[in-house]
A and B are shown apart, each in its own frame.
Chain A
Amino acid sequence: MSNDCIPDNLEVFELFKAFVKENFGAKIDFPLVSKQNFAAKLGTFLDQIKAQPHATDHDVFRQKISEVAVDIPANFYQYRVSQDKKMDFLYVSPGSVEMWGLTPDEIYADSAVIFSRILPDDREKVRIDVVDAAAQETVHVTEFRITNPTGIKWLQASSKPTRKTDNSWIRTGCITDITALKTVERKLFEHEQFYQSVLDSITSQVAVLDKEGVVVATNKAWEEFDNNLHKGLELPRYKKGVNCLTECAGKASGGNLSAAALEAVRRVMHGETKLVEFPYSLEHNGRRSWYLFRVMPLQNDAHSVVVAHNNISEARRAQEELLVTKNKYEFLLQTTDEMINTVSPEGKIIWANQAWKKNLKYDEGDLVDLRLIDVVTTETLVKHGERLEKLRSGKTVHLPHARMIRKDGEIVDVSGTVVPVFEQGLYKGTQGFFRNISDVERERTERIKAENLLKRTLENNYIGYMVLGYDWKYLYVNQAAAAQAFQVPETLTGKTMLEMYPGVEDTIVFKKYKTCMELRRFDDFEEVYLFSNGERRWFEFKVEPVEEGLSVITIDITEKKVIEENLSRSRELLNESQRQAHIGSWELDIPTGRYFWSDEIFRIFDLEPGSVEPSYDYFLNHVHPDEVDMVREAYVVSVAEKKPFEVVHRLVLASGKTKYIREIAETFYDSEGKPIRSFGSSHDITAQKEAELLLQYNEHKYHQVVENISDALVVDDIEGRLVFANDQFLKVFRFRREELEGTVLEDYVAPEYRELLRERHNKRIAGEDVPDFFEYKGLRGDGTICWLETRVCKVIENGRIIGTQSAIRDVTERKMAEQLQEQQNAELKKINSELDRFVYSTSHDLRAPLLSLHGLVDLCSSTDDAQELKLYLMMMTRSIDKIDETIKEILDYSKNSRMELQSEKIEMADLVANGKESLKFNTDSRFVYFRTQINEQLPFYSDRHRVATVLNNLLSNAVIYQRANEPSPTINLHFHADSSYGYLTIHDNGEGIAADKIDKIFEMFYRNSEKSVGSGLGLYICKEIVNKLGGLISVTSEQGRGSSFIVKLPNLKP
């Protein structure tokens, strides 16, 4: 059905709608089709109906409605239900095709067909309405769903009853399609559900008012708020369904709030404003909660408003806490003599404390455009750049020495720590804590100068001064004094106090003036002054009797007081700075006796934070017994006299450890002068105290050392740069004084000791324990090495380590002697052990064949057999040979150790030939194939006898240790010489040496084989000879494959 046509005559349609409603109980609201004369047709129809009083009569209805029904998107019908509940359709308009997909004829034929189209769930409901309840004198409106070829449709059937004389009922009605409406309804419902759940999920309390002021929706938070917080409070309660404008208005007795709230609702509702917002607070059960009240129009619906309360208590409290914390933190940051700055990730100086500004001579105004690179030297940035990069990853960086630039360009040496600042996990830059380690004295002068200047400025602007006559007349009032009383000097001068301030004689201040005036006494006090406008301000008064009467100096200290009061709470942020400085803080709430310690106090006591209940007694129990009275007295006097106190005392901890503590504390008082809270800080100055003691000790030692001028004295700074050296130092190290400029410790330490000494230096500077007394090798100016003995101590100034001082003694001669002695001892030890072995082995090697001879002689004497005797004689000869062999070896050994080297030109080929010749008596040598390669282009000089001994031993071994199953036993000999060395290689393919034995073969008397015929001296002698010649002998071998002996001998040319 198209929708795009404009009805011909709206009035007629309205009349028709009214007719349908009246006669069929149906409300039809549909776009009417544009058909020629449709409106006219409808008009005629309506006229006829009007003309016929029995318009709903069956025939008339059918006749008349059928004329128009075809054009209306509705299904008109009339049916009869007989007494036995039989249903017959009397009329069905053609709209049934559109509605049901059934023609009127199909429905006439069987009325049940329509039920088959209705969804099974809805059938029973429709049957009851249409059939069972047909005999009721009411208009029925039934909604149900049907299926037709296009899907599921929502239909609405309405009908009006007529009772027939035969007790049957005729119902006349019409069916319209309400699918679109139903869809919208469902969507609307879903939307409402959705928005309600959103509203419920937020913590603000929200209520929605309609244009009459009736609460139409609230969320969970609102309901809970209403139930809990408003319990017992006479405040308007905007419950669902309540009209808050009419019902709450009269009852509201919550003071300004409710009136203001209602007024806000009214204003927003009338479109006067888009938003009303104000905070208010409620005190409930002793707890004050803050809320933000807001009223605003509901979007798309100008007359509805949303009322919301936001509980902002937490935020508010956090804000207050933050402010207090910030004040306290800043106070401490500002008052410390450590230089503290905050730097943004981009390198801008965001904030700096007084000490920082003072040290670097910047004013607050200068900070605006100041960048880190303006105040730190390039040298420092380059040097520490890599480490500073680590800040971003959360690492703290310690800078034992950094250099900063003052506003006037002067360099300031500082030492300190840089910590990264993170906020909610985001890197927000860094905070640096530095100490100025430049000239402290000069700094102090500057500070005094600056303080004087500040004082003068203050005097001109902030210090009130007046002179009062004996009759309390203002004789002189300066600008500041008048301003403090919201006056100008002119209005006060000449008047008396009593005139200006009636009732003033009852005030504490006046009473004190009076006492001073009468007794001609000086007084100095702080007092709060309540002005007629309700303002309370704190002043410090200095009253002094003068010739004219009294002079009074008044200083407004309200701000100071505010800060002091703020200081009484908060811990968190302080903790870090306290830890940095070893300053802990404590608070004593005097009315409740509650005692609070910051974490650092626990640490000072070597305790885990929170591990004991802090109390004044606990504290006193750990004060050094000699100082308990002094500490207690200091506090009592401080409270009584209302003056801060400062004491230095010792703490004796459970472990027996003693710490030095500087205690600074102050008590705050209420306006009646009663003490309310003591606030103190404890500064662990043990390190400083110890450093002072060490300094005294070192000074004493310094004098001693300087007197003993035979030592070289040197003082260096934290970087290891030489800052002082005495004449002896120059002598020991062979430096000239002008060479000392820029000398660092590496310049006078031998390379192998540099790393160790630099590490010790850095550790010593960092306060770690390192040896004070040690020996090392020094490097002299002329490049020679010397042995030194040194005693090092820290140089301490103002409690800080600024370098080290060393007393150095040249112990080269002693060291040399020691070394020589050690060397000689080692040699002697070797000779002794060799001698032992020698005696033992020779006793065996010489005795064994002798004993064999003895045994053979014995055998000879017991036989006459000539054959046997011959055998014995042969054996005797072999025993004698063996004795001879051993004696020869002993001689070789003895010659090598005793005879001087005799260098001569060696013809290696001759030596090899002689060696081979001596082996020919060895039966094994007959089958060995010798390959010799001798390169004697350059003459080789050495000790002929010794070289021959080595060569013969090696050749003999190569022959003896052949492999039995080797078909072609071979010995390769190779020799060549250059101007420095001669190289001899003897390679065999014999038995080889097992890997675990190879290390032992050069040992004295070592025998590795059953074939070993001698005493086990051969290779030992070789090694001794090669050592004597200053050469090297080495072996490579593989068991079962052969061995290679390589001898490298220096060419000892004359």
Chain B
Amino acid sequence: MMKLKRILLVDDDEISNFINERKLKSAGIADRIDVCISGMRALQLLNELIAANESGPEVILLDINMPIMDGFGFLDEFDRLPGSFTTGIKVAMLTSSLEKEEIRRSYEYKNVVDFINKPLSTEKIVILADKIIK
């Protein structure tokens, strides 16, 4: 399995974050895992990276149902970031939602490559890694 430099996990549920972080670590997919508890904080982080002229995470795992700014709100803002920064960042939705409408809507964003149902498992991480390589 290839090794990523950086993964960003965006979810408001702390327990969910705890579990997912553990799973990702044990899968050893990335050198570094950042966790943000809202879309707003994730955007803040990305903007800091842009300002520091650093490259962004290769993958963002994004929850949909979050207060203040939900996953789609984050994606709208994400699309406004400089193209030079966002190109190459793959987004995978990570949600408890089973709504077909939300799946469809997610794939309308060009950076979204996967729609994963919680809980995250080693198998799901492997499939995601495959998609990222493709």
> Which chain B residues border A858 with CB–CB below 8 Å?
19, 119, 121
Report the minimal beta-carbon distance from B111 to chain A, rounded to whole angstroms.
Answer: 23
Contact A852:B19 (CB < 8 A) given known A858-B119, A1007-B68, A1009-B68? yes
| A581 at interface, CB cutoff 8 A | no
Q: Do residues B67 and A852 form an inter-chain contact, with CB atoms below 8 A?
A: no
Distance in angstroms between the alpha carbons of A1016 and B67 in the assembled complex: 9
Within 8 A of B (CB), among A499-555: none
Residues of B contacting A1012 in the complex (Cβ-Cβ under 8 angstroms) = 67
* A1010 and B16 within 8 A (CB): no
A278 on interface, CB distance cutoff 8 Å: no
Most chain A CB within a 10 A radius of its CB, from B12, B20, B99: B12
Closest Cβ of chain B to A715, distance in Å, is 61
With A855-B119, A855-B120, A1010-B37 already in contact, the answer to whether A848 and B19 are too (CB < 8 A) is no
Q: Is the interface of A mostly helix, strand, loop or mixed?
A: helix
Q: Which of A807-856 contact B (CB under 8 A)?
A: 840, 843-844, 847-849, 851-852, 854-856
Q: Which residue of B26, B99, B118 contacts A855 across the interface (Cβ within 8 Å)?
A: B118
B5 at the interface (CB under 8 A from A): no
Count chain B CB atoms within 10 A of each CB in A852, A856, A859 and give the residue with the most. A852
Cβ–Cβ contact A851 & B37, under 8 A: no
Q: Is B15 an interface position by the 8 A CB rule?
A: yes
Known: A1008-B68, A1010-B67. A852 touches B16 (CB 8 A): yes
Give chain A interface residues in 871-891, CB to chain B under 8 Å: 875, 878-879
Closest-CB distance, A73 to chain B (whole angstroms): 116
Q: Are A844 and B65 in contact (CB under 8 A)?
A: yes
Task: Count A-B pairs with CB separation below 8 Å.
Answer: 60
CA distance A878 to B15 in the complex (A): 8
Residues of A within 8 A of B120 (CB): 855
In the complex, what residues of A have CB within 8 A of residue B12's CB? Answer: 1010
Pairwise interchain contact B119-A851, C-beta atoms closer than 8 A: yes
Q: How far is the CB of A835 from chain B (nearest CB, A)?
A: 15
- The complex places the Cα of A1022 from the Cα of B98 at a distance, in Å, of 29
Check B67 against A856 for contact (C-beta < 8 Å): no
Say which residue of B22, B67, B97 sits within 8 Å of A1008 (CB atoms).
Answer: B67
Contacts of A844 in B (CB 8 A): 65, 96-97
Among B16, B22, B98, the residue within 8 A (CB) of A859 is B22
Q: Are A1010 and B68 in contact (CB under 8 A)?
A: yes
Q: Convert B74-96 into 0s and 1s, putting 1 for each residue whose CB lies closer than 8 angstroms to a CB of A.
A: 00000000000000000000001
Contacts of A843 in B (CB 8 A): 96-98
In the complex, A862 Cα to B18 Cα: how many Å? 15
Q: Nearest CB to that of A1012 among chain B residues? A: B67
- Which residue of A has the minimal Cβ distance to B65? A844
- Kindly list chain A residues whose C-beta atoms are within 8 Å of the C-beta of B19: 852, 855-856, 858-859
Is B15 within 8 A of A856, CB to CB?
A: yes
Query: Which residues of chain B come closer than 8 Å to A849, judged between CB atoms?
Result: 13, 15
How does the 8 Å CB contact mask read for A973-1012 relative to B, with 1 for contact and 0 for none? Answer: 0000000000000000000000000000000000111101
Contact pattern, A 857-877, Cβ under 8 Å of B = 1, otherwise 0: 011001000000000000100
**Cβ–Cβ < 8 Å partners of A855 in chain B:** 15-16, 19-20, 23, 118-120
Report B-chain residues with C-beta under 8 Å of the C-beta of A1007.
Answer: 67-68
Encoded as 1 (CB less than 8 Å from any A CB) or 0, chain B from 3 to 17 comes to 000000000110110
Find the B residue at minimum CB distance from A851: B118
A856 CA / B18 CA spacing, docked (Å): 9
Is A848's CB under 8 angstroms from B18's CB? no
A844 to B12: give the CA distance in the assembly, Å: 13
Per the bound structure, the CA–CA distance linking A1010 and B35 in Å amounts to 14
Neighbouring A residues of B26 by C-beta, 8 Å = 862
Q: For residue A1016, which residues in chain B have a CB less than 8 angstroms away from its CB?
A: 67
Assuming the contacts A859-B22, A878-B15, asked whether A851 and B67 have C-beta atoms less than 8 A apart, the reply is no
Q: Mark A726-762, 1 if CB is under 8 A from B, else 0.
A: 0000000000000000000000000000000000000
A862 partner residues in chain B, CB cutoff 8 A: 26
A851: chain B residues within 8 A (beta carbon)? 16, 96, 118-119
Residues of B contacting A848 in the complex (Cβ-Cβ under 8 angstroms): 13, 16, 65, 96, 118
Contact B119 A854 (CB under 8 A): yes
Q: Which residues of A contact B20 (CB under 8 A)?
A: 855
List of A residues within 8 angstroms of B97 by Cβ? 843-844
Q: Closest residue to A856 on the B side, CB-wise?
A: B19
On chain B, the residues within 8 Å of A854 by CB distance are 119
Please name all residues of chain A whose beta carbon is closer than 8 Å to the beta carbon of B106 when the two chains form the complex: none
Chain A residue, CB-CB nearest to B19: A855
Interface pair A1009/B119, CB less than 8 Å apart: no
Docked Cα-Cα span, A858 to B26, in Å, equals: 13
**What separation, in Å, do the CA atoms of A856 and B19 have in the docked complex?**
7
B17 to chain A, nearest CB (A): 10
Q: A855 vs B125: C-alpha distance in the bound complex, in angstroms? A: 14
Q: How many Å from the CB of A1015 to the closest CB on chain B?
A: 10
Report B-chain residues with C-beta under 8 Å of the C-beta of A852.
Answer: 13, 15-16, 19, 118-119
Specify which chain A residues have a CB less than 8 angstroms from the CB of B98 in the assembled complex. 843
What is the minimal beta-carbon distance from A882 to any residue of chain B, in angstroms?
8
Closest residue of B by beta carbon distance from A848: B96
> Are A1010 and B15 also in contact (CB < 8 A) when A851-B96, A859-B22 are?
no
* Contact between A1010 and B38, CB atoms less than 8 A apart: yes
Alpha-carbon gap, A1009 to B68, bound state (A): 6
Closest Cβ of chain B to A993, distance in Å, is 12
CA distance A847 to B16 in the complex (A): 12
Q: Which residue of A lies closest to B97 (CB)?
A: A844
Residue of B nearest to A844 (CB): B65
Residues of A near B13 (CB, < 8 A) are 848-849, 852
Query: How many angstroms between the C-alpha atoms of A843 and B118 in the bound complex?
Result: 13
Choose among A849, A851, A856 the residue with the greatest number of B CB atoms under 10 Å from its CB: A851
Binary contact readout B29-45 vs A (1 if CB under 8 angstroms, 0 otherwise): 00000000110000000
In whole Å, how far is A868's beta carbon from the nearest beta carbon of chain B? 10
Closest B residue to A1010 by CB, please name it: B38
CB-CB nearest in chain A for B12? A1010
Least CB separation from A849: chain B residue: B15
Closest to A850 in B: B96
**Nearest CB of chain B from residue A50's CB, rounded to whole Å:** 137
Q: Do A1009 and B23 touch across chains, with their CB atoms under 8 A apart?
A: no
Give min CB distance, A745 to chain B, whole Å.
55
Give the chain A neighbours of B18 by CB distance below 8 A.
875
Residues of A within 8 A of B96 (CB): 843-844, 847-848, 851
* Contact yes or no, B67 A879, CB < 8 A: no
Interface residues of B in 100-134 (CB under 8 A from A): 118-121
Complex CA gap A859/B22 in Å reads 8
- In the assembly, what is the distance between CA of A859 and CA of B119, in Å? 11
A859 CB to closest chain B CB, in angstroms?
6
A564 to chain B, nearest CB (A): 89
- In the assembled complex, the Cα of A1012 lies from the Cα of B97 at a distance in Å of 19
CB neighbours of B37 from chain A (8 A): 1010
CA distance in complex: A77, B46 (Å): 128
Nearest CB in chain B to that of A845: its residue: B65
How far is it, in angstroms, between the C-alpha of A878 and the C-alpha of B26 when the chains are bound? 23
Bound Cα distance A844, B70 (Å): 13
Please, how many angstroms separate the alpha-carbon atoms of A209 and B26 in the complex?
Answer: 138
| Shortest CB distance B67–A (Å) | 3
A-B contact pairs, 15 of them (CB 8 A): A848-B65, A848-B118, A849-B15, A852-B13, A852-B15, A852-B119, A854-B119, A855-B15, A855-B23, A856-B15, A859-B19, A859-B23, A878-B15, A879-B15, A1016-B67
Interface residues of chain B, those whose CB is within 8 Å of chain A, are 12-13, 15-16, 18-20, 22-23, 26, 37-38, 65, 67-68, 96-99, 118-121
Given A855-B16, A862-B26, A875-B18; 14 other pairs, CB 8 A cutoff = A840-B99, A843-B96, A843-B97, A849-B13, A849-B15, A851-B96, A851-B119, A852-B119, A854-B119, A858-B121, A878-B15, A1007-B67, A1008-B67, A1009-B67
- Please list the residues of chain A having a beta carbon within 8 angstroms of any beta carbon in chain B: 840, 843-844, 847-849, 851-852, 854-856, 858-859, 862, 875, 878-879, 1007-1010, 1012, 1016
Q: Shortest 9 CB-CB distances between A and B: which pairs?
A: A1007-B67, A855-B119, A855-B19, A851-B118, A852-B15, A847-B96, A848-B96, A1012-B67, A851-B119
